Structure 1
Amino acid sequence: MKKFILFILKTIIIIIVLAVLLDYAYTSVYLQSNNRNKVDYVYNSKNRNYDVVILGSSRANNHFVSEMFEDKGFRTFNYGMSGGHLFEASLLLKLMIERKYEIKNLILEADLNLSNDHQAEGVSAKFLPYIHNSETIRKHFESEEDFNELYYIPFYRYIKFDAKIGFREIYKTAKGEATSSLDNLGYYPLQKHKKGNMKNNIVNLKPLVHNKYYQEIKSLCKKNNINFIAVMTPMCENVVGMNYFEKVKKAYPEIHNYENVVVENKYFSSCGHMNDTGAKIFTARIINDFFKK
């Protein structure tokens, strides 16, 4: 019995040591990467200077054509992240400020994502390799239910989110393989697809009266003298429940409503995402309304 207990203890110790070593090895690789996604691009950087920074979900990533701002003389990058919520947008802005970014204007896509204030796990996982190295990231995750496991159990976060930050991703990161997420100054153009979902029902969607992370972004901009521009972006003509945008305007009067600037289906890849042609029409309107020299 004594030998069995000793065997179990030795096994546990070996597992813990391996977990600590693997955690250190994975994290060390991520700390050297800046070309896989928009999180590492910001985390492993400093002192960037922008006239325009764009934040939000895929409805920012696919709707704001960065090069059109650049053509008008505004240094721009689209940091919108597909699948992301305001939880991740707020944290990304905190990291930019921490890294001494100079930002004159921030455009925030704030419409459908105002209906929740929780993290998008597939996107937020990309911040987790740095949770022990960044007080900003640690504090942002502290109120999450699984924080203790993610923070205190070595290598646990890499196992839980293996598809996002596990072995396959660490292998490609170590090889220095770049992705397309940083192409086109962060803008990801979509094309018209025959199989695109051109119907959407948002009748049951309701904006939160007080979205914690929207308010954080707004407050951070005010504190750091960043001109804050919050906008609602277009949806196709088949959407049911478009009065959602009226509810947003009532709860957040400062948000500019552009949901009907582009409506024809031919300008959309799916009902919630414009194709490249639609995005260019929309971006031209934004530039004309807010950045006309």
Structure 2
Amino acid sequence: MKNFLVYMTKILIVIFLVAMILDCIYTAVFLQSKNRGKIETVFNSKAQKLDVLILGTSRAHNHFVAQMFEDRGLKTFNYGISGGHLFETSLLLKLMIERKYTIKNIILEADLSLASDKESEGITAKFLPYIHNSAIIKEHFKSDANFNKFYYIPFYRYIKYDSKIGFREVFYAAVHKKTNVLDNLGYYPLIKHKNGNMKNNIINLNPLPHNKYYQEIKNICKANNINLIAVMTPMCENVVGMNYFEKVKKVYPEIHNYENVVVENKYFSSCGHMNDTGARMFTARILKDFFKK
């Protein structure tokens, strides 16, 4: 029995050491990755100056044509993240401030995401390689139920989110294989799909009376003299429950409602995402209203 316990102890020690080594290797690779996605690009970046920073979910990523701002002489980048929530948006902005970004204006897509203050697992995974290298990321994740596992168990986060930050992603990051996420100044144009979902029901969706991460973004902007332009972006004409946007306006009157600026289905790729034509119409309206020459 004694020999068995000694043997098992040795096995556990070896497993722990291997996990620590792999953890260090994976993390080292992510610490030099700059061309795979927006999160690692920001984390590994230096100070930048931006006239317009675009933040939000896919409804920012696909709706704001950054080049149209650039054509007006406004240094712009679209850091909208498909699949993200305000949890990730707030953290990304914190990292930019930590890296001494100088930002004049932030356009924040804040509509459907106001209904939740939960994280998006698939997106939060992209921050986890840096949890031991950033006090900001560590603090932001402290309320997560899995924080202790992420922070104290070596390699656990890489195993749990293997599809996002596992071997395949580490390999591509190591060989500097680029993605298209950073193309078009961060904007991703959509096309009209024949089989696009042109129906949506948001009748049961309600904005939180106090969204923690939206408030964090507001506070960061105030503390850093950044002009925050929070907007609600369009949805197609078939949506059920469009009074959601009226609910948002009542709770957050400072958010500008643009949900009805583009409504015809022909300008949408799916009910919640405009195609490139619709996005350009919408961006032109934002430029007209907030960035007059």
Q: TM-score if structure 1 supplies the norm length?
A: 1.00
The CA deviation at 1:195 is 0.8
In structure 2, C-alpha distance between the alignment counterparts of 1:32 and 1:6, rounded to whole Å = 40
In structure 1, C-alpha distance between the alignment counterparts of 2:248 and 2:149, rounded to whole Å = 36
Structure 1 residues 9-88: aligned runs within 5 Å: 9-88=9-88
The CA deviation at 1:46 is 1.2
In structure 2, C-alpha distance between the alignment counterparts of 1:214 and 1:146, rounded to whole Å = 23
The CA deviation at 1:3 is 1.4
In structure 2, C-alpha distance between the alignment counterparts of 1:134 and 1:100, rounded to whole Å = 15
In structure 1, C-alpha distance between the alignment counterparts of 2:227 and 2:48, rounded to whole Å = 17
Paired residue type of 1:17: L
In structure 2, C-alpha distance between the alignment counterparts of 1:55 and 1:124, rounded to whole Å = 15
The CA deviation at 1:26 is 0.1
SS in 2 for 1:144: coil
Q: Does 1:180 align with 2:180?
A: yes
CA distances 1:160-205 after superposition (whole Å, capped 9, x unpaired) = 0000000110011111001000000000000000110000000000
Paired residue type of 2:40: D
Structure 1 residues 236-255: aligned runs within 5 Å: 236-255=236-255
Q: 2:228 aligns to what? A: 228
In structure 1, C-alpha distance between the alignment counterparts of 2:287 and 2:92, rounded to whole Å = 23
In structure 1, C-alpha distance between the alignment counterparts of 2:111 and 2:71, rounded to whole Å = 27
In structure 2, C-alpha distance between the alignment counterparts of 1:189 and 1:53, rounded to whole Å = 18
Q: 1:263 aligns to what? A: 263
Q: 2:146 aligns to what? A: 146
Paired residue type of 1:74: L
In structure 1, C-alpha distance between the alignment counterparts of 2:289 and 2:186, rounded to whole Å = 22
SS in 2 for 1:181: coil
Paired residue type of 2:131: I
Paired residue type of 2:242: M
Paired residue type of 1:55: L
In structure 2, C-alpha distance between the alignment counterparts of 1:271 and 1:118, rounded to whole Å = 23
CA distances 1:52-93 after superposition (whole Å, capped 9, x unpaired) = 000000000000000000000000000000000000000000
CA distances 1:83-112 after superposition (whole Å, capped 9, x unpaired) = 000000000000000000000000000000
Paired residue type of 1:123: I
Paired residue type of 2:138: R
Q: 1:90 aligns to what? A: 90
Structure 2 unaligned spans of 5+: none
CA distances 1:93-147 after superposition (whole Å, capped 9, x unpaired) = 0000000000000000000000000100000100000000000000000011110
Paired residue type of 2:118: H
In structure 1, C-alpha distance between the alignment counterparts of 2:46 and 2:291, rounded to whole Å = 26
In structure 2, C-alpha distance between the alignment counterparts of 1:142 and 1:98, rounded to whole Å = 19
Q: 1:208 aligns to what? A: 208
SS in 2 for 1:105: strand
The CA deviation at 1:2 is 1.5
CA distances 1:4-52 after superposition (whole Å, capped 9, x unpaired) = 1111000000000000000000000000011000001100011111000
Structure 1 unaligned spans of 5+: none
CA distances 1:247-288 after superposition (whole Å, capped 9, x unpaired) = 000000000000000000000000000000000000000000
Q: Does 1:124 align with 2:124?
A: yes
In structure 2, C-alpha distance between the alignment counterparts of 1:49 and 1:185, rounded to whole Å = 14
SS in 1 for 2:108: strand
In structure 2, C-alpha distance between the alignment counterparts of 1:151 and 1:279, rounded to whole Å = 40
Paired residue type of 1:72: R
In structure 1, C-alpha distance between the alignment counterparts of 2:204 and 2:289, rounded to whole Å = 31
Paired residue type of 1:200: N
RMSD: 0.4
SS in 2 for 1:229: strand
Paired residue type of 2:116: N
SS in 2 for 1:64: coil
